[in-house]
Structure 1
Amino acid sequence: MTTIGIVGTGISGLQLALRLQQLGIEVVVYSAQELDQLATGRPRNFPARFGPTQQRERQLGVFDWDTADAQVRRWDVTVGAGDHTLAFHGELRPPSSVVDFRLYLPHLCARFAERGGKVVVGARPITEVAEQHDLVVVANGDRSMRELFPRDASRSVFDAPQRILCSGLYRGISEDTPQSLDLCLIPGIGEIFRIPFLTPQGRADVLAFEAVPGGPLEPISRVDPAVEPVRFYRDVLALLGEFAPGLRERVDGQDFTLIGPGELSQGSVTPMVRHGWATLPNGKCAIAIGDAWITNDPLTAQGANLGSHTAFALADLLVTQAGGYDETFCRAASEQLWTHARNVVDWSAAFLGPAPAHTTALFAKAAEDKRIAEAFINNFNDPVAMWQSLASPRGTDAFLAESIEE
Structure 2
Amino acid sequence: MSRVGVVGSGISGLQLALRLQQLGVEATVYSDVGLDGLKDGRPRNFPARFGPTQQRERELGVFDWDFPDAQVHHWEVSMHAGGPRPLEFLAALRPPSSVVDFRIYLPHLLSAFVDRGGELMIGDHAVEDLAPRHDLLVVANGNRMVRRLFPADPERSPYSAPQRVLCAGYYFGIAEDVPHSVDIHFLPGAGEILKLPFVSPAGRVDVLAVEAIPGGPLEPVCHLDARADPAAFHRALLELVATHTPRLRERIDTGEFSLTAPGELAQGALTPVVRRGWARLDDGTCALAVGDAWITNDPLTAQGANLGSHTAFALADLVAAHDGPFDEEFCRGASARLWEHARHVVEWSNAFLGEPPPHVRGLFARAAADRRVADAFVSGFGDPVSMWRTLSTPDGAAAFLARCEQQPVPPADPATAPHG
Report the Cα distance in structure 2 between the residues aligned to 1:365 and 1:69, rounded to whole angstroms. Answer: 30
Distance 2:176 2:22 in 1: 40
Query: What's the CA shift string for 1:189-208, capped at 9, x where partnerless?
Result: 10000110000110000100
Deviation at 1:35, TM superposition (A): 2.3
Q: Cα distance, 1:323 vs. partner? A: 4.1
Is 1:149 the counterpart of 2:161? The answer is: no
Q: Counterparts in 2 of 1:6-405, with a 5 A limit?
A: 6-80=6-80, 83-405=84-406
Q: CA deviation at 1:366?
A: 0.5
Moved more, 237-246 or 15-24: 237-246
CA-to-aligned-CA distance 1:338-366 (integer Å, 9 cap, x gap): 01001110001110001111101000110
Q: Distance in 1 between matches of 2:239 and 2:324?
A: 58
* Equivalent position SS for 2:148: helix
Whole-angstrom distance in 2 between the partners of 1:362 and 1:176 = 24
Q: Which amino acid aligns with 1:71?
A: Q
| Deviation of 1:55 (Å) | 0.1
1:108 deviation in Å?
0.1
Aligned residue type for 2:303: Q
1:84 alignment partner, SS class: coil
- Indicate the SS of the match to 1:232: helix
Matched AA of 1:7: V
1:119-145 residue CA offsets vs partner (Å, 9 max, x unmatched): 000011111110100110000000011
Distance in 1 (alpha carbons) for counterparts of 2:6 and 2:403: 42
CA distance in 2, matches of 1:323, 1:271: 34
For 1:12 and 1:227, locate their aligned partners in 2 and report how far apart those are by CA, in whole Å. 35
Q: Using the alignment, how far apart are the partners of 1:111 and 1:228 within structure 2?
A: 41
- Counterpart Cα distance in 2 of 1:402 and 1:76: 22
Query: 1:80, 1:86 within 8 Å by CA — same for their partners in 2?
Result: yes
Letter paired with 1:162: Q
User: Quick one: which amino acid aligns to residue 22 of structure 1?
Assistant: Q
Q: Distance in 1 between matches of 2:207 and 2:323?
A: 43
Q: Which amino acid aligns with 2:154?
A: A
Among all aligned residue pairs of Structure 1 and Structure 2, give the percentage whose two residues are the same amino acid: 60
CA–CA distance in structure 2, aligned partners of residues 358 and 366 of structure 1: 12
Q: In angstroms, what is the RMSD of aligned CA positions?
A: 0.9
* Contact kept in structure 2, 1:72 and 1:181, CA below 8 Å: yes
After superposing the two structures, state which structure 1 stretch, 77-86 or 140-149, moved more.
Answer: 77-86
1:284, distance to aligned residue in structure 2 (A): 1.3
The amino acid of 1:278's aligned partner reads A
Moved more, 15-24 or 275-284: 275-284
Deviation at 1:401, TM superposition (A): 0.5
Shift of 1:34: 2.7
Unaligned runs of 5+ in 2: 408-420
* 1:322 Cα deviation from its structure 2 partner: 3.9
One-letter code aligned to 1:72: V
What is the SS of the residue equivalent to 1:352?
A: coil
Deviations 1:167-198 (A, max 9, x none): 10101001011111100001111000011000
Q: Which runs of 4+ in 1 moved over 3 A?
A: none
Verify the 8 A CA contact 1:12 1:289 in the aligned structure 2.
yes
Could you say which residue in structure 1 is the equivalent of 2:416?
none
User: Partners of 2:229 and 2:172 in 1: how far apart?
Assistant: 19
What is the TM-score when the length of structure 1 is the normalising length?
0.99
Question: What TM-score does the superposition give when structure 2 sets the normalisation length?
Answer: 0.96
